[in-house]
Amino acid sequence: MSERVNEKKKSPKPEAVLPTLGPLGMLRWAWTQLTSMRTALFLLLLLAVAAVPGSLFPQRPANPAIVTQYIKDHPDYGSILDSVQLYDVYSSAWFSAIYILLFVSLIGCVIPRAIAHYKAMRSQPPRTPARLSRLPEYGTLVIPADAGIPASAAITDAAELLKKRGYRVDVRDRDGARPSLGAERGFLREVGNLVFHTALIGVLVSVAAGGLFGYSGQRILVEGDTFVNTLVGYDQFTPGTNFQSSQLQPYSVQLDKFDITFDRESKGKFGQPIDFTAAVTTKENPDAPAKKEVLKVNDPLSLGGTSVYLTGNGYAPVVTIRDGAGNVAMQGPVVAKLQGENYYSSVVIKVPDAKPEQLAFAGFFLPTAFVTDKGVSFSGDPELINPQLTLNSYFGDLGLDAGSPQNVFELDVKKLTPLNARNLDTKGIVLAPGSSYTLPNGKGSISFDGVKRYIGVDIHHNPGQLYALIFALLAVAGLVTSLYVNRRRVWVRTGTHEDGRTMVEYGLLARGEDHRLAGEAAAIRKLLSDDWLLGDEAATGSQPAPSATADNDRADKASTATGSTGAGGTHAAPEQPAEDFIQSTAGSSESKKDQ
């Protein structure tokens, strides 16, 4: 990337250029801006900022009811927030704009880089610089004349060693006076970076595809109930944009039994559920053999391309209701909705089949009923120790025939006449299992037959999920590769000194962040001197670059060059380093720098 960055800095200030640009030039200018690293950085930071409000305000996709309530509670600014989509942050125009721009920018960056990298991988390492001593890592070796290794053999040896080390090597001017080689390795770094960024696009596309072709729904199952995966089988269903009902495979799930374990050990958490286990019988399709399975939290069922999750549970009191005519108008479990501690739940029973008048009940179910001195009832334990139903009753027209859908958990009593209520003479109805109550005025009766448990399940189908995972894994692999593979270049030049010794100099350059370059230089030095039997002194002698003092020397040079007034004064930094090492007077295996 550094090249790209460098290129940028050379271009003149955009403002200065603007007036002279034609429409095409404008477009090109906009594109260059959009695909620049600076813009990418800006968009990334903007994305981070833009994601925050979604955690501050309630979000519609997660919880529409809370959003409605929030708008009601804040009449002053509630609807203003809505108009700028702060309740739908992640599908809002502005959030989408940021990430779409980011990804356009990313594509605009990835494609040219991929092409450039493809070319780089096929081309030879760059030509040998005239002054190797200017490279960040530089060192020299001297092969004695009597070793019988001429300059051309030395360069061949070095080429062999570097090839073994994974470098791509190009030898230049092998039989000339100054043979040299250029070597490069670590092309995977850039590949990793490209894979990483491309995989991010893959993740985004997979998520979008999941939204298009997936679906999800909910269903409540009382013990004994069976869910069949058809549209009518769902209590609630949310199709993706491109959903077709033929996608549903008609598998079935029957809830046989549901068990909860409550914490009876720890003090602070006494009575908290610590295990939910649903025993179910499943069939892949109506004709398939039945299979016993266990459904737990964190352990969904996989059926017909969907996953079935255990997301809720509660009690369902079983009641029998007779109408004024003495007929059974309703019989079965009623799902009680959790309201408070210890399964304190609300109950709504609507009996549209009751004759002559429709009946309705609303009240509470308590698994372990307690009543305080003040007459407030609460549930003392989640388990069925003293189950109790306390209900008010009503009669009249339930309005169910009008056809408009009603919430089964809510009862609109406006058009109904109360029969039993705490503030009436008749008082409320209080039932224990096995007991029954006869309604006033011969309206009928209700009996509390027993209690079952129910579970809530979520069913999801998301075809994008697997691809999102694959791309995410690719992204991580790319990331790790690009962070930990180092791209390096090595140049070696050899020559023969007038006195017959073979002089070798080498330099290393890293592309991108590479804190192990000095280590690599030392390793290469060691390999070369071992190969030429230069002995330990050359291998570990004072000449290799990796020493803090040498580095500081270099640093000081750099700062002098950029006009720093820093404390570089102690070293005499030569403005013209190493004219020619090979014909220098270097008598031993000392690097120029250390003289």
Subset of 218-277 contacting other proteins (CB under 8 A): 261, 263, 265-269, 272-276
Give the per-residue contact string, 48-87, with ligand HEM (x = CB under 6 A; - = no): ----------------------------------------
**Which residue's CB is nearer to other proteins, number 178 or number 511?**
511
> Residue 565, interface with other proteins (CB under 8 A)?
yes
Residues 522-551 as x/- pattern, contact with ligand HEM by CB under 6 A: ------------------------------
CB 574 within 8 A of CB 568: no
The residue among 4 and 131 lying less far from ligand HEM, judged by its C-beta, is 4
By the rule CB under 6 A, 105 interacts with ligand HEM = yes
Whether residue 286 has a cis bond before it, omega within 30° of 0: no
Tell the smallest beta-carbon distance from residue 38 to ligand HEM (Å). Answer: 9
Q: Is 465 in the site for other proteins (CB under 8 A)?
A: yes
Using rule CB under 6 A, residue 517 touches ligand HEM:
no
> Cis bond leading into 356, ω under 30°?
yes
Quick check: 1 binds other proteins (CB under 8 A)? yes
Helix, strand or coil, per DSSP, at residue 76 = coil
Pick the closer one to ligand HEM by CB: 161 or 475. 475
Pick what 83 binds: ligand HEM, other proteins, none; C-beta below 5 to 8 Å, kind-dependent.
none
Binding residue for ligand HEM, selected from 396, 512, 546, 577, defined by CB under 6 A: 512
Nearer to ligand HEM, 102 or 521 (CB): 102
Choose the binding region for other proteins from 24-32, 154-162, 279-287, 478-486 (rule: CB under 8 A).
Answer: 478-486
Query: Which residues, other chains included, contact 85 with Cβ-Cβ below 8 Å and sequence gap of 6+?
Result: 91, 92, 93, 94
Task: Give CA angle at 327 (225, 454), nearest 5°.
Answer: 20
Q: Residues for the chain: how many in total?
A: 595
415 binds other proteins (CB under 8 A): no
Cβ-based neighbours of 515, under 8 Å, separated by 6 or more: none
Residues 105-134 that bind other proteins (CB under 8 A): none
What gap in Å lies between CA 302 and CA 67, rounded to an integer? 33
Nearest-Å Rg of the Cα atoms of the chain is 39
Distance CA 69, CA 77 (A): 13
DSSP 365-401: EESBEEE-TTS-EEE--SSSSB-EEEEEEEEE---GG
Give the residue with the Cβ less far from other proteins, 13 or 267. Answer: 267
* Strand-strand pairing, 180-185 and 487-496: antiparallel
Which of 514, 483, 524 has its CA nearest to residue 132? 524
Name the 3-class secondary structure at 238: strand
Pair of tokens at residue 491 = 């140049």
* Rounded-to-integer distance, Cα 508 and Cα 520, Å: 9
Residue from the set 29, 70, 90, 243 that interacts with other proteins by CB under 8 A: 90
Class of residue 298 by CB neighbours under 10 A (exposed 0-12, middle 13-18, buried 19+): exposed
Considering only residues 275 to 304 of the shown chain, the ones binding other proteins according to CB under 8 A are 275-276, 296-300
Q: Binders of ligand HEM: how many residues, by CB under 6 A?
A: 18
Answer with the entry of other proteins, ligand HEM, none that 106 interacts with (C-beta below 5 to 8 A by kind): ligand HEM
End-to-end, the C-alpha distance of the chain in Å comes to: 36
> To the nearest whole angstrom, how small is the minimum distance from the Cβ of residue 11 to ligand HEM?
16
SS3 call for 161: helix
Question: What residues from 480 to 509 belong to the interface with ligand HEM (CB under 6 A)?
Answer: 482-483
> Site map for other proteins, 329-358, x if CB under 8 A?
------------------------------
Say whether residue 360 binds ligand HEM (CB under 6 A).
Answer: no
Distance CA 566, CA 556 (A): 8
Which of 552, 574, 579, 583 lies at the binding interface for other proteins (CB under 8 A)? 552
Among 353, 513, 537, 579, binds other proteins (CB under 8 A): 513
∠ CA 55-56-62, nearest 5°, is 50
Cβ closer to other proteins: 24 or 567? Answer: 567
By the rule CB under 6 A, 109 interacts with ligand HEM = yes
Contact with other proteins (CB under 8 A) among 331, 549, 583, 588: 549
Which residue in this structure is represented by tokens 């998301």? 462
With binding defined as CB under 6 A, does residue 479 bind ligand HEM?
Answer: yes
Task: Kindly write down the DSSP assignment for every residue of 433-489, as one continuous string.
Answer: TT-EEEPGGG--EEEEEEEEEEEEEEEEE-THHHHHHHHHHHHHHHHHHHHHS-EEE
Rounded distance between C-alpha atoms, residue 334 and residue 353, angstroms? 15
By CB under 8 A, the count of residues binding other proteins is 89
Binding flags for other proteins, 24-43, as an x/- string (CB under 8 A): -------------xx-xx--
Residue 178 vs 511, nearer CB to ligand HEM: 511
* String marking each residue 193-212 x if it binds ligand HEM according to CB under 6 A: x--xx--x------------
When binding is defined by CB under 8 A, the residue of 81, 114, 408, 479 that contacts other proteins is 479
CA distance 235 to 250: 16
**Cβ atoms within 10 Å of 487's Cβ, excluding its own:** 19
Residues lying near ligand HEM in the complex (CB under 6 A) are found at 1, 37, 40, 43-44, 102, 105-106, 109, 193, 196-197, 200, 479, 482-483, 512-513
